[in-house]
Amino acid sequence: EERTISGCKEPRSEADPIHKMTLRMRSDKTMNNENILDYVIRGEQLPENMRALAVGTGTAGGFFLSEPAKAMGLTFQNIGLRGKCRVEKTEQNATTIQMASFMESNWSTNGPFGISIAPTAENATISESDLSAHCISFEVQSLAGLISASRKFYDATVNAGKVIAEAFNTNLSWKLDQQIISGSGIAQFTGLKNCPSAINVNRTTANDVVLADILNMKKSAMPYSNPATNYTWICSPGAFSKILDLEDSGGTNIFIAPAANSPVGKLLGHEIYVSDHCSAVGTRADLILADMSLYQIVEFGNPRLEVSTDAYFTSDKVGVKLVYFADGRSLMRSKITTTAGDFSHIVILQ
Give pLDDT tens digits for 202-223.
Answer: 999 999 999 999 999 999 998 7
pLDDT at 188 over 50: yes
Q: In the predicted model, what is the mean pLDDT of residues 239-260?
A: 91
Residues 75-112: pLDDT tens digits?
554 458 888 899 988 876 778 888 877 566 666 666 66
pLDDT of residue 34: 55
Name the residue with higher pLDDT: 72 or 264: 264
Residues 147-164: pLDDT tens digits?
888 888 877 887 777 778
Which range among 9-18, 66-75, 112-121, 314-323 shows the weakest confidence by mean pLDDT?
9-18
Q: Is residue 181 within 8 Å of residue 288, measured between CB atoms?
A: yes
Residues 118-139: pLDDT tens digits?
788 988 988 777 767 677 889 9
Give the Cβ contact number of residue 212 at 10 Å: 12
pLDDT of residue 282: 96
Peptide bond into 227 cis (omega under 30): yes
Q: In the predicted model, what is the mean pLDDT of residues 261-272?
A: 85
Q: Is residue 37 within 8 Å of residue 164, measured between CB atoms?
A: yes
- For strands 270-274 and 231-235, give the pairing: parallel
Name the residue with higher pLDDT: 14 or 93: 93
pLDDT of residue 200: 97
Instruction: Indicate the Cα dihedral angle 327, 333, 334, 336, nearest 10°.
Output: -120
* DSSP classification of residue 80: S
Contacts of 209 (CB under 8 A, 6+ apart): 203, 235, 239, 242, 243, 246, 281, 286, 287, 349
Percent of the chain exceeding pLDDT 90 equals 33
Angstrom CA distances, 296 to 89, 119, 199, 219, stand at 11, 34, 18, 23
Q: In the predicted model, what is the mean pLDDT of residues 158-184?
A: 85
